[in-house]
Structure 1
């Protein structure tokens, strides 16, 4: 389905932040890797987290869920032998489970999104899994991917961090279960280090011991460990909230989002600091973020590596800022559901934004007077692109039609409902 976003001068109201997708997928996984019953309070519901739910059940976990919690009985270090797993379009779920399925005899990850996840490379993780003694069949590093495991061995492992931190996370989830101790060395630059902090935080909560250097470039993992069945509570999601906060910043607004912890380890928490630097009137107290926007923003420069999933929303706000903004160290945006630099900027230009790209930078020449809009936009099946383009549509002179906007459900199924509740003029069309 498509969505029409019409110019909306004012947003007002309160919403609760979604539960974090990143934490939910990690908690579901560690619960599945435990023997016994774990409880997760307020888990996120999105296509990504539902993909993890589906796959851990395929691998032998049981899951019972109500409106408040999910109760999981795990399979421990013995996932059930299944022929195929379908992760949908969830890259992180694919990569985490590529690590876990080395414990299985043979599993094929199928390719159901050839124009999105099917295009994304996984060579660096494939190379690392080979160092565990695992055979991997693949299509030039892409799906479909078959893993023939069963007897993986720990030891000295090197993995590149230059494309994605998810490869490292995959190894950190599985190596504690191997009989041998492991030493993991990251080669090249490690992207999205802050997300590795989230993985380590969840592993520690699950009773796993990992010794990491301060720069996250070297890890010592004792073997023979077991995940413990625990109770977890999922915190509010900053990546999804970033787009709503940006929408409030570019309009006349009085918007409050609840359940966004001030001391969260989510890198996308930086959206708060960025909007303050852009001189958006904003307070953050007791888990509530209140934006009293006046539509007036100042340009800034920002290192986006620590806040990958909020950068597109930040760029959308910068489209209307006074001056030229620069978002640098963001090359890993090119390796997401789409090329979130080239593809996204092409659509922004259609709407009337003045933007430039370099290999690892996005440069935005702000237009405080607004952009023309009145065009059809291709969001490239990417939930983050959909959300960010919606922000631009709210300040366009003419409506934007965003194609295939239903893909927002990958991380934030209620996104347009929440915007409507705040007064945004958005409409689904077939």
Structure 2
């Protein structure tokens, strides 16, 4: 499917933020790891969360769902022995479940997206699992990956944190179930520490004890723990909402996004502060972000590691700011569904943006007058790229045609419906 995003000068209305993908996938997993029945209210529906639903079902969880909630009877530390698991294009789901699959004797994670997830490396987690006595077969760290497990052992474990925090999260979900106590040391830097904060928050809610150092680089995890069956409520999603807020910021707007908790631990909540720093007129009170913009923004400098999944949307806003913006400490964007620095900036240039890249930086020379557009865009099968380029298309003179736009469903299936509901001119056409 392609999205034809046309110039849209005025946006107005209110929407409910979609439910958080990150929290939904984590709640689904901890519910599956509990022995008993858990209830998750307002779960997200996206390709990622649906992949987790599918895989925990394959591993033996009983999953029942209605419009409001999902009820899961878990398998504890005894997943069903399956020969294959298909996570689709969901990297976090793959990485979380690689550790859980170590309780099974022989599982292969298949490669159904060779041009996207199939290109992403997982060496860091593979090396950690090998330290725990697990044998793995892989394609230079990539899918398909076969895990020959059954009896993972605890003890001292090292994991690199300089590519993704998901490897550490994976180990934190699994190690409490081991017979032995574990101690995890994070090597190098740890990217996206705020997301580790979400993992620790969810684990604590499930009754799991983790002793984390203040800098989140060392962990002591008692073994022989059990996940408790609980009730969970999924909060609104900041990463997806960042694109809606950016769209409102670059146009004449009066837009409210509801269900965005002011005390959320989602790092992408920082997108609100980024837009304020860009001189966007907005308020954030009682879970509602209210943007009243005239489309005038000013440039700034921002540490993107604090809001990884909102960086592209903020870059899209900066395309129209007065002055030069710099987003630094963002190298981990290179290791996502695509290279979100090189690939994304190449598409921005096609649209008429003036952007530069460094290994871990994105530099945007703003064009307050707008960009020309009128070109066809390769979305690189990446939901964040699709959303960010849609923002640019709204403020372009001739619009943009974004190919493979259906991949937005990976995290935000209702994205184009929500945009249109507040006045954006978007046409969806089957290729």
TM-score, scaled to structure 2: 1.00
Deviations 1:169-225 (A, max 9, x none): 000000000000000000000000000000000000000000000110000000000
Residue equivalent to 2:329: 329
Q: Provide the C-alpha distance between the structure 1 equivalents of 2:183 and 2:35, rounded to a whole number of angstroms.
A: 25
Residue equivalent to 2:108: 108
1:408 is displaced (CA, Å) by 0.1
Q: Provide the C-alpha distance between the structure 2 equivalents of 1:43 and 1:349, rounded to a whole number of angstroms.
A: 37
Residue equivalent to 1:167: 167
User: Alignment partner of 1:70: what SS?
Assistant: strand
Deviations 1:113-144 (A, max 9, x none): 00000000000000000011000100000000
Residue equivalent to 1:17: 17
Q: Provide the C-alpha distance between the structure 2 equivalents of 1:226 and 1:103, rounded to a whole number of angstroms.
A: 15
Q: Provide the C-alpha distance between the structure 2 equivalents of 1:416 and 1:56, rounded to a whole number of angstroms.
A: 29
Total equivalences in the alignment: 430
User: Alignment partner of 2:190: what SS?
Assistant: coil
Alignment of 1:74-113 (within 5 A): 74-113=74-113
1:290 paired to 2:294: no
Alignment of 1:205-224 (within 5 A): 205-224=205-224
User: Alignment partner of 2:393: what SS?
Assistant: helix
Alignment of 1:376-415 (within 5 A): 376-415=376-415
Deviations 1:23-51 (A, max 9, x none): 00000000000000000000000000000
Q: Provide the C-alpha distance between the structure 2 equivalents of 1:52 and 1:91, rounded to a whole number of angstroms.
A: 11
Q: Provide the C-alpha distance between the structure 2 equivalents of 1:374 and 1:332, rounded to a whole number of angstroms.
A: 30
User: Alignment partner of 2:372: what SS?
Assistant: strand
Q: Provide the C-alpha distance between the structure 2 equivalents of 1:93 and 1:8, rounded to a whole number of angstroms.
A: 36
Deviations 1:272-302 (A, max 9, x none): 0000000000011100100001100000000
Q: Provide the C-alpha distance between the structure 1 equivalents of 2:308 and 2:285, rounded to a whole number of angstroms.
A: 24
1:267 paired to 2:267: yes
Q: Provide the C-alpha distance between the structure 1 equivalents of 2:233 and 2:271, rounded to a whole number of angstroms.
A: 23
1:44 paired to 2:44: yes
Q: Provide the C-alpha distance between the structure 2 equivalents of 1:293 and 1:348, rounded to a whole number of angstroms.
A: 23
1:399 is displaced (CA, Å) by 1.6
> Structure 2: where are the runs of 5+ without partners?
none
1:269 is displaced (CA, Å) by 0.1
Q: Provide the C-alpha distance between the structure 1 equivalents of 2:349 and 2:429, rounded to a whole number of angstroms.
A: 23
> Structure 1: where are the runs of 5+ without partners?
none
1:429 is displaced (CA, Å) by 1.1
1:306 is displaced (CA, Å) by 1.3
Residue equivalent to 1:318: 318
User: Alignment partner of 2:381: what SS?
Assistant: coil
Residue equivalent to 1:239: 239
Q: Provide the C-alpha distance between the structure 2 equivalents of 1:86 and 1:289, rounded to a whole number of angstroms.
A: 37
1:127 paired to 2:130: no
Q: Provide the C-alpha distance between the structure 2 equivalents of 1:163 and 1:419, rounded to a whole number of angstroms.
A: 32
Q: Provide the C-alpha distance between the structure 2 equivalents of 1:133 and 1:322, rounded to a whole number of angstroms.
A: 55
1:323 is displaced (CA, Å) by 0.1
Q: Provide the C-alpha distance between the structure 2 equivalents of 1:301 and 1:371, rounded to a whole number of angstroms.
A: 22
Structural RMSD (CA): 0.3
1:308 is displaced (CA, Å) by 0.3
Q: Provide the C-alpha distance between the structure 2 equivalents of 1:76 and 1:188, rounded to a whole number of angstroms.
A: 32
Q: Provide the C-alpha distance between the structure 1 equivalents of 2:349 and 2:255, rounded to a whole number of angstroms.
A: 28
TM-score, scaled to structure 1: 1.00
Residue equivalent to 1:30: 30
User: Alignment partner of 1:216: what SS?
Assistant: coil
User: Alignment partner of 1:98: what SS?
Assistant: helix
User: Alignment partner of 2:223: what SS?
Assistant: coil
Residue equivalent to 1:140: 140
User: Alignment partner of 2:19: what SS?
Assistant: coil
After the TM superposition, which parts of structure 1 deviate over 4 Å for at least 4 consecutive aligned residues? none
Residue equivalent to 2:363: 363
